[in-house]
Structure 1
Amino acid sequence: MSTTSVLQEWHVTEPYLHLHCALGEGPFYEAATNSLRFVDIKKKRVHWVKLDEGPASVTTVQLDTPVTVTSDIEGVDPQERILIGVKYGIAVLDRKTGKYEYVARFAEGDNERLRSNDGAADPHGRFWLGSMTDIGLDLQPEGHVFLFGGNPVAQSMRYPVTIPNAIGWSPDKKTMYFTHSTERTVFAWDYSAEDGALSNERVFYRHEGPGEPDGFRIDTDGNLWHAVYGESRVLRISPEGKLVGQINLPTHNITCTQFVGTELFITTAGMVEGEGSDEAVQLSGALFKVDVGARGLEPFTFKLYK
């Protein structure tokens, strides 16, 4: 009797919304307004779409800095202000005016070579955010994983890293996961409910394949739904670190995922002519969605320290 498990598969062919993002990233469900927010890092834009109204309801804010991720702020109406990851750290964005103000920075002096990448608020209301070589420069292992906990300068928790990516927590909040894309590895730590301290670092999942694992979200059963950049797919990874399913998409550069109910929204990055089939290039940078029958964990909110 064979013990080989069959991967559960989903196939997505049409985009939900196509804004031709250069580097679509950071999808976030804004429950207060039933909206999906996401960013375009290269084009320095924050987008949001009202899911009740559909793709025609997109609003875009153009910034003058790479914007990489967003988060709700505890006690603040997200229609007014949200937290954003920007070039030199974290900032609060005024949704009405499009103006932003830094809350905290990566270091005492700004490093022009670096920009933020992916991140998330943790169960303690702090914000974890990676930094990496900025676009257009030679990629080096010079980034950090930073922790913003109320001080004007962040604490470096891991160095050096090359492309630090998604961070998330298991349903019981006892495990923290972190993807280092260039190592094709998802790491796990024991996470302390008392003070948020990390211990017992280990490899949770190591990716075999030409692409690099990018962003993920975790469902209520503890599965990671992990985008793979360069492989036209999202992986479903079990709490034991086993590949148990995949979503196949019609473009190559899959960047991140976000649950809304049982639907998974998926951001992608742009391709240029010659990098793939005409269809793959044409659909690159689009936002996709697919009903996977699972529900995601609620994101934590950032505590804005005065």
Structure 2
Amino acid sequence: MAIPQYVITEPWIPSECQLAEGPVYVPETGTLYFVDIKRNEVLAAPTGGFSPYKVKPSTGVGPEIEAYGPVGQGPDLDGYAQRVRRYRFTEPIGMLARAPIEAGPDTFVVLGQRGPAVVDFSKLAYAPLRGPAPAPVALDYAVEVYADKGELGDLCRFNDGNVDSKGRIWAGTMLKTFDGVPDPRIGSLYRFDSLRPGAVAEVVSNCGIPNGLGWSKDETKMYFTDSKRHCIDEYDYDAESGAISNPRLFISVPGVPTADGMTMSDEGEFFVAVWGANRVRRYDQTGRPVEEYVFPAESITCPVFGGPNHDELFVTSMVAETEVPGDRGGDIFRIRLPGVRGVAYKRASL
């Protein structure tokens, strides 16, 4: 029997990013933060004031879900664009991690090219979504992981990651470009126990494109995506120490598409961006596909849960590598999944 497949025809925000990634929802302000890696930007979009519409499955049998967009059907597009904040940096930003609650809702640990830095976005100049770019800001690294690794610091950048229940940041590095590189698997997965010197460990080496990462509900397993290997691996995980061991294949995405970013529900389900296939695929706790959400963008990059009830899925995308007529790559999509609740996003330890 075919699994339920829901077709979303329009984006929520026509953000026109080059490579949107790393979405994080801030419940205190109802704001979605996300990055545009190729433009060295972080964007902050208010999420209130929109009315969803119903979407029935186009294949299979399943309940109705809800979708949002386009933005012109909610607030006036030009007026809304003035409220979306764009921050620019002097280097690509791959990941955002929320800082401790006392730091305020707009403070993040930002993973740039060489390491993490603490940034309070409420204190930075910004520009609206439509208009000239803001002046770029340089990061002040708390830790620089490539300080003693020669040219790797110029070749690589941080990409995706996550924060565990103890506040440890897990973030992977990859090549900035694969052009002319015979072996692209020179990235690593790092664990930052804090942002103090000596508190960082390289836990997985020989990574191609490190991406989505999460943990089982009982915190005995960790899941880690390497998009170059088209798979998600499962590790044994010790929540107290952060140690991982015994890697084995968990989910494989063979062929041209590949697993990209992912998020999880509080029941331990996986919501995986399938890059190159226009969709987010939902897997149960055993790794069996159970639903798909199809978008008008070939290159879907990362989903994250948010919204007042944490049952909305915000989905980023990038411009397709080859021209696709009508492709909305680079825009942001938004759906609501009744009966599903995303796992709570953790805050990083400083």
> What TM-score, normalized to structure 2?
0.80
Q: What is the alpha-carbon distance in structure 1 between the residues aligned to residue 124 and residue 95 of structure 2?
A: 19
Match of 2:33 among 26, 34, 37: 37
Q: What is the alpha-carbon distance in structure 2 between the residues aligned to residue 255 and residue 123 of structure 1?
A: 24
Partner deviation per Cα, 1:196-222 (whole Å, 9 max, x = no partner): 221232211111232111000001121
Q: What is the alpha-carbon distance in structure 2 between the residues aligned to residue 137 and residue 63 of structure 1?
A: 24
Q: Which residue of 2 aligns with 1:135?
A: 177
Partner deviation per Cα, 1:37-85 (whole Å, 9 max, x = no partner): 1000000100111112566131111111101111111233444421111
Q: Any conservation in 2 of the 1:227–1:233 contact (CA below 8 Å)?
A: yes
Match of 1:97 among 124, 129, 132: 124
Gaps (5+ residues) in structure 1?
none
Pair 1:19 & 2:33 matched:
no
AA aligned to 2:190 is: F
The alpha carbon displacement at 1:18 in A equals 1.3
Gaps (5+ residues) in structure 2?
51-70, 72-79, 126-136
Pair 1:221 & 2:267 matched:
yes
Which 10-residue stretch deviates more, 189-198 or 11-20? 189-198
Pair 1:66 & 2:95 matched:
no
Q: What is the alpha-carbon distance in structure 2 between the residues aligned to residue 185 and residue 206 of structure 1?
A: 4
SS of equivalent residue, structure 1 residue 259:
strand
Match of 1:83 among 94, 106, 109: 109
Q: What is the alpha-carbon distance in structure 1 between the residues aligned to residue 100 and residue 6 of structure 2?
A: 35
Match of 1:267 among 308, 316, 333: 316
Q: What is the alpha-carbon distance in structure 2 between the residues aligned to residue 228 and residue 41 of structure 1?
A: 18
Q: Which residue of 2 aligns with 1:106?
A: 145
The alpha carbon displacement at 1:251 in A equals 1.3
Greater strand fraction, Structure 1 or Structure 2: 1
Q: Percent identity?
A: 29
Q: What is the alpha-carbon distance in structure 1 between the residues aligned to residue 113 and residue 93 of structure 2?
A: 7
The alpha carbon displacement at 1:271 in A equals 2.7
Which 10-residue stretch deviates more, 181-190 or 201-210? 201-210
Which 10-residue stretch deviates more, 225-234 or 194-203? 194-203
Q: Which residue of 2 aligns with 1:124?
A: 166
Q: Any conservation in 2 of the 1:32–1:78 contact (CA below 8 Å)?
A: no
Of structures 1 and 2, the larger Rg is shown by 2
The alpha carbon displacement at 1:136 in A equals 6.5
Q: What is the alpha-carbon distance in structure 1 between the residues aligned to residue 104 and residue 252 of structure 2?
A: 36
Pair 1:115 & 2:157 matched:
yes
Q: What is the alpha-carbon distance in structure 1 between the residues aligned to residue 110 and residue 173 of structure 2?
A: 14
Q: What is the alpha-carbon distance in structure 2 between the residues aligned to residue 29 and residue 19 of structure 1?
A: 17
Q: Which residue of 2 aligns with 1:149?
A: 193
Pair 1:288 & 2:333 matched:
yes
Q: Any conservation in 1 of the 2:26–2:105 contact (CA below 8 Å)?
A: no
Q: What is the alpha-carbon distance in structure 1 between the residues aligned to residue 207 and residue 42 of structure 2?
A: 26
> What TM-score, normalized to structure 1?
0.91
